[in-house]
Structure 1
Amino acid sequence: MFLELLLLVFLMNESNEAAEQKDTNEQTVSETIQVTASGFESLISEAPGEVTVISQEQIKEKGATNLIEAIQGHAGLFFSGEGVGGRKTITIRGLNDKHALILIDGKRIAASNAVMGHSDFEYSWIPVNSIERIEIVRGPLSALYGSEAVGGVINVITKEATPSWKSSIELGGGVREDDRGGESTRVGFYTSGPLSSDMVSLQVAATYSKNESVPFQDVPYSEIEGSEVTSVSTGLDVTLNENHFINFDATFTQDDRWRDASSRGKEYLGEYDLAKQQFSLAWKGIFSKVMADVKLYYSEIDKDAISTYKSGRVKKSTDLVSNQVLEARFYSEIGSHRLSYGGELRKEHLESATLTTKEDDAQYQALFIQDEWSTGKLLLTTGIRMDDHEFFGSEVSPRIYGVYELTENWNLKAGYGGAFNAPTLKQISPNYHATFGPHQFFGNPDLKPETSKNAEVGFHYQRARVHFRAIYFDNKIKDMIAWNKIGQEGHQAIYEGINIDKASTSGVELEYDYHPPCGFQMSGQLTFLDAKDDTTDEDLLYKPEQSGNIRLAYLFSGMNMKFGINGRYIGKQLTSGSELSTVSLPSYSILDLFATKRFNDMFEAQLYFKNITDKYLLDESDDFGYVEPGRSYGLILRASF
């Protein structure tokens, strides 16, 4: 039904071609500019990769307070439950969450998903109101960005300072219909403008959001944890002259979580105290034939996990992960070639009680070069990067991608690349030794990185009111890291990390965006996925066979009002059952509504209704390891001046 609707809309577009040519004032589907896939600005249809750009207006329309809410509803993206407090993680094309690299303005953050259990802590690093757009590139990008860019890259691009002072504020809140908790509150502020003529500009963003916890219907434990997030970011832009620019930015985020839980029959209050910070100093220089972009930055996440039992016993664990990075990128144009090249020095630091030395470090060095060659109708991108790690040695990541203009409206795209994911400091450190119940875990300094070979081919269609793409992808991963039992000490089993598993994911992505005359907006996405563990020849868990999204909206231009509906479909997927068996989870759909009214140039209000059918997953199957928030509604007020 979903695919039939997409085809119907496509046929509607063909019949409206004459109307498009007569009326050029109606809203159109414009060709969007991206930078993440190549390092250069390029149109999406010409980019060396499959790119989605989510605009600031789309983020506001979703009422998003974090990265997951901002990017929902796009092909190839999946959201897997983490089994704790309703947390979810982002996966791309059926790979693991650790295979999706998250950047802020092209800079790495201190990733916690591989070293902190049940982590979704990467998705609330900066104030949402500071985001200009989000660029999502599917497919391997280790040739540009190094480790973790196996499934793709999510690059959050923040707003640039404005030439005159502009500010905005936001107030909002929501409630669940069943009165079981989940009340939400949000406050946001943003301001930007010049401090000294056109030479120095400042921007400041701040957000606060709070969501109360939601207990299970039948037991006093939390199915959705409570959260309270305060985030502040500031940026200072200095124009030295027309060719040289300096930028300093800093971000501070306090992320607190709480939930009622039980372990081995003992009830406790689980709390997380997460402090995140990032500092960056950047210089851009434009010379006669070269543009230079040099960044020095530091990011850190500090986690305190506290469990308070009813007996009064308190259990506490701490982890700290930080990255120090010096990165230099250079861009040149020589005839029909656009070159990007440079290098990176990175130091990763970990502090944890599970390390016998209490802390450990790893050093990275990398060099890369990429050539984008335009030969008439063919745009060919080739690149290679070499990363050197003090533990596992060197890893080379190649890339080749071609975009061929078939007609004025149709492009053929195809590419192949290699990527890798480095072992975490816990997995590879000889100083790692952790005990959890009847299990002991040791790091293995002989671990190799997980590596992948990735290919894709497809078509893009672009015209004034419509954009359509269809892509087939195939990913093969080897040397996946798993814990292997190597011995027994009394009642405790001893495990060591080894490279053993192989996996593959393949599928088809369909996306459609159509703006017919008279204010309508229609878009849809559909993904078919086949994900297998090649070691056992079994389907991977938590990978839906199909997923889709459809959005319908209507703009009443004379009234400055917009109404819309978003529908999400999650197909059948496997989960783990009892006695090492697997269980098939049923498919389900979620529907959301929104309405926006702009009163004048300053004031805007938005109503939202989420999960309007009140879909409760545990009514569908007791084996769901995550939940969708119940039916809720809320109001957001915005003012800009």
Structure 2
Amino acid sequence: MKNVFKNPGKLTLLSLSVLTALAMPVYAEEQAVDTRNVTITATRTEQEIKETPSAVEVITREDLEKIGANNLADALQMATSINVGAPAMTGSQVTVRGMESRHSLILVNGKRLISEGSYMTVNTYELERIKMENVERIEIVRGPVSSMYGSEALGGVINIITRKPEKEEFTFSLSPQRYSNSMSNGLDNYFLRYDSGKQGKWSWIASADRTETDIIENADGTSQNLFGRRDNFNLEGTYDLADNTFLDVSVDILREDLKGRQTATGGAPRNDRYDNSRDQYSLGLRGKLKNGDYQIRTYYGEQEKVDKNFLASNGDLTGFDVYKRKSWTLEGHVSTQVADNHLLTAGGEIRRENYRGTRLGTGGKNIFDITYGNLTKQGSEADIDSSAIYVQDEWLVNDRLLVIPSVRYDDSNRFSGNVSPKLGMTYKMNEHSRLKLNVGKGFKAPSMDDMYMEMTKVMGGMTVHVTGNPDLKPEKSTSYELALEGERGNTFGKLTYFVNDVKDLISTNTVTTRNAMGIPIRMDSEYLNEDKADIDGVEMEIGRKLTDKLMLKLNYTYLDATGATGQRLEKRAKHQGTVQLHYDDNQENGISAVLWNEWKKDYLPSSNNAINKTYDLWNVSVNKEWNANFSSQLGVRNIFNKKDTELHLLGSIVHAGMTFKF
């Protein structure tokens, strides 16, 4: 890593001194911090976070309620080494340890979502789509996890684990958000859930939510965001087949009626409409064995999007795109205690994906014509069949050393087989301090969009033409990670050094055509494997329980992210972190609150603009439980009303919420 200790700064020096103290023995009279949080995402088995070698963070239900998180973007605000860009016309970008949105795998209960797959849109819309009312916790694994999850898990995994029915109950909540300088702008969230509790052998949760988003206008009447309505319906059920044997079913339905305003060719205002739908179904069997447990499940999803563009002046149709994705997956794994000190996990999956639409142009097979109004476009379809097997051993070498080797083999009809190995180790230096090591490889297979895209679209007055490349190779990474963590009395902390070398990165070869005045009028881009990245960094996490009601937490990340020619990678900060003060009065009907500062130093918004940004945002949220049936929440994000159009910072946001249970 380059220059990381040249000017480490006071925070890094503080973290080194604190973590050195954590490695010392803990005296008997001191009370150790409770670190019994459990993860299932890092190894697919239940494991204490302090035991697992992987860099894991868990955002609990209490955390979500305390900060008033409405969606996944809200929930990730204070997470270590994660940067979430503010929502714009192309959704929200999320980077994990400097890896792009498309390099992080977002799961719901361990299942992949069927979602956008292009170079620019992977995961970006999910940060607003995934709501938090039904979420029990979020598990984040930083660093490649391809040895267990395959493609997309190049930068890490974000696994959203939903709540389970406990007792028969109705829940209704309302949570509006408004910009403080324009109280007519914001969004409204409505949520309704029915928990059946245990009724015979069945238990169910049925829920529905709606988000209505207002337009945020620019001076010329165009919009900075997608506005309109988003609806979700979810149904999850579990049937007890026998002792320790369960049948799980789920249905998830998404409908979006969204709009945008842009500038068409020649500067004419244009209204865009996006009618999107997604249906997902899942059926699974899980249970316990004499010496372990197992799970097998299948799930299917369809996503359909219809985008239409109209002149604002007369409503004439000027363009459209239509596409439909289908995905079917069969997967399973079994974990068995093969010896007193070996827990073996083995599994596999097969997946079939089909994509049919106009944005493939004639790049795929089965070319067709589709007509809307007086416009006709050509489209085609493509498919990918993939399969994988993996194996992992949790080897307890002795009382101090845990070693977890794992390897996965992925194959496909579109790319050659890929092997993803990983080795993780946790060494207990003493009862309250640990040294952790991870070495592994990750990969991301090119999507059908990347390979077969043939898209021509007017964006902001410029014609954009994007061409795919069927000869693309998977992006691959090699990563190393060394961490020291521990707890001493009421203090806990972790210091991590990580290296991630990425090759065969998919990028674009872009040619821009300008008019006589030098204004860009056309941009032609083609995907290719030509880039690489060296992403190194240091993470620091420190917390201390100040009293029985107050907790102070800090996290900091230094990131050195460069590309093939040594240039800095955009949409990343060299320094970022949060300072958090948590309060909980520990009463049955009590108050919890959090005040936090999130800051970035030397953030590079765009490679076209070499000016770095340095800024910080103050936020506060208070949650009050009045009784068993009613709670409320009130908060402000960006208290001091920071604004920056390039960063999509639009000022202070006041958010409130009321939840009723009966």
Q: Determine if the TM-score, normalized by the shorter chain, exceeds 0.5.
A: yes
Q: For residues 10 and 275 of structure 2, what CA distance do their matches in structure 1 show?
A: 42
1:207 alignment partner in structure 2: 209
Cα drift, residue 512 of structure 1 = 2.1
1:539 and 2:560 aligned = no
**Equivalent in 191, 196, 208 of residue 193 of structure 1:** 196
Cα drift, residue 611 of structure 1 = 1.2
1:604–1:442 Cα change, 3 Å = closer
- Taking only aligned residues, the RMSD between alpha carbons, in angstroms, comes to 2.9
**Equivalent in 52, 55, 64 of residue 59 of structure 1:** 64
Q: For residues 554 and 81 of structure 1, what CA distance do their matches in structure 2 show?
A: 27
> Structure 1, unaligned stretches of length 5 or more?
619-623
Q: For residues 90 and 466 of structure 2, what CA distance do their matches in structure 1 show?
A: 27
1:236–1:309 Cα change, 3 Å = same
1:638 alignment partner in structure 2: 659
1:131 alignment partner in structure 2: 135
1:621 alignment partner in structure 2: none
Q: Is the 8 A contact 1:34 1:42 kept in 2?
A: yes
Q: Is the 8 A contact 2:457 2:464 kept in 1?
A: yes
Q: For residues 504 and 404 of structure 2, what CA distance do their matches in structure 1 show?
A: 28
Q: Is the 8 A contact 1:135 1:156 kept in 2?
A: yes
1:448 alignment partner in structure 2: 473
1:332 and 2:362 aligned = no
1:596-619 deviation digits (Å, cap 9, x = unpaired):
22222222111112211000014x
Q: Secondary structure at the match of 2:147?
A: helix
1:467 alignment partner in structure 2: 492
1:224 alignment partner in structure 2: 225
Whichever residue aligns with residue 417 of structure 2, its letter is S
1:61-88 deviation digits (Å, cap 9, x = unpaired):
2222211111111111112468x43732
Whichever residue aligns with residue 581 of structure 2, its letter is L
**Equivalent in 649, 655, 658 of residue 628 of structure 1:** 649
Q: For residues 151 and 339 of structure 1, what CA distance do their matches in structure 2 show?
A: 25
Q: Is the 8 A contact 2:107 2:113 kept in 1?
A: yes
1:121 and 2:125 aligned = yes
Whichever residue aligns with residue 566 of structure 2, its letter is D
1:147–1:7 Cα change, 3 Å = closer
Whichever residue aligns with residue 54 of structure 2, its letter is G
Q: Is the 8 A contact 1:526 1:548 kept in 2?
A: yes
Aligned ranges for residues 150-549 of structure 1 at < 5 Å? 150-162=154-166, 164-179=167-182, 181-194=184-197, 196-197=199-200, 199-216=201-218, 218-264=219-265, 265-311=267-313, 312-314=315-317, 315-335=319-339, 336-355=341-360, 356=362, 357=367, 358-376=380-398, 377-429=400-452, 432-436=453-457, 441-463=466-488, 465-484=490-509, 496-533=526-563, 535-549=564-578
Cα drift, residue 500 of structure 1 = 1.4
Cα drift, residue 175 of structure 1 = 2.3
> Structure 2, unaligned stretches of length 5 or more?
1-8, 368-379, 514-520
1:598 alignment partner in structure 2: 625
Q: Secondary structure at the match of 1:61?
A: helix
1:422–1:4 Cα change, 3 Å = closer
1:145-169 deviation digits (Å, cap 9, x = unpaired):
110100000000111232x323322
Q: Is the 8 A contact 1:126 1:253 kept in 2?
A: no
Q: For residues 59 and 226 of structure 2, what CA distance do their matches in structure 1 show?
A: 28
Cα drift, residue 464 of structure 1 = 6.0
Q: For residues 324 and 572 of structure 2, what CA distance do their matches in structure 1 show?
A: 31
Whichever residue aligns with residue 94 of structure 2, its letter is I
Whichever residue aligns with residue 576 of structure 2, its letter is S
Greater alpha carbon shift after TM alignment, 591-600 vs 523-532: 591-600
Q: Is the 8 A contact 1:109 1:300 kept in 2?
A: no
Give the TM-score normalised by the residue count of structure 1: 0.89
Q: Is the 8 A contact 2:86 2:649 kept in 1?
A: no
Q: Is the 8 A contact 1:512 1:524 kept in 2?
A: yes
Whichever residue aligns with residue 370 of structure 1, its letter is Q
Q: Is the 8 A contact 1:29 1:513 kept in 2?
A: no
Q: Is the 8 A contact 2:286 2:294 kept in 1?
A: yes
Give the TM-score normalised by the residue count of structure 2: 0.87
Q: Secondary structure at the match of 1:39?
A: coil
Q: For residues 628 and 189 of structure 1, what CA distance do their matches in structure 2 show?
A: 31
Q: For residues 255 and 465 of structure 1, what CA distance do their matches in structure 2 show?
A: 47
Q: Secondary structure at the match of 1:539?
A: coil
1:343–1:186 Cα change, 3 Å = same
Q: For residues 561 and 433 of structure 1, what CA distance do their matches in structure 2 show?
A: 54
Q: Is the 8 A contact 2:91 2:125 kept in 1?
A: no
Cα drift, residue 4 of structure 1 = 8.0
Cα drift, residue 121 of structure 1 = 2.0
Q: For residues 484 and 635 of structure 1, what CA distance do their matches in structure 2 show?
A: 46
1:372–1:267 Cα change, 3 Å = same
Cα drift, residue 426 of structure 1 = 2.5
Q: Is the 8 A contact 1:20 1:517 kept in 2?
A: no
Aligned ranges for residues 67-146 of structure 1 at < 5 Å? 67-80=72-85, 84-85=88-89, 87-114=91-118, 117=121, 120-146=124-150
1:169-210 deviation digits (Å, cap 9, x = unpaired):
21222322212742321222223234632x111111222222
1:480–1:61 Cα change, 3 Å = same
Q: Is the 8 A contact 1:180 1:215 kept in 2?
A: no
Q: Secondary structure at the match of 2:336?
A: strand
Whichever residue aligns with residue 267 of structure 1, its letter is P
Greater alpha carbon shift after TM alignment, 514-523 vs 65-74: 514-523
Cα drift, residue 452 of structure 1 = 0.6
Whichever residue aligns with residue 471 of structure 2, its letter is D
Cα drift, residue 39 of structure 1 = 0.9
2:600 alignment partner in structure 1: 570
1:410–1:176 Cα change, 3 Å = same
Cα drift, residue 8 of structure 1 = 12
Q: For residues 260 and 435 of structure 1, what CA distance do their matches in structure 2 show?
A: 18
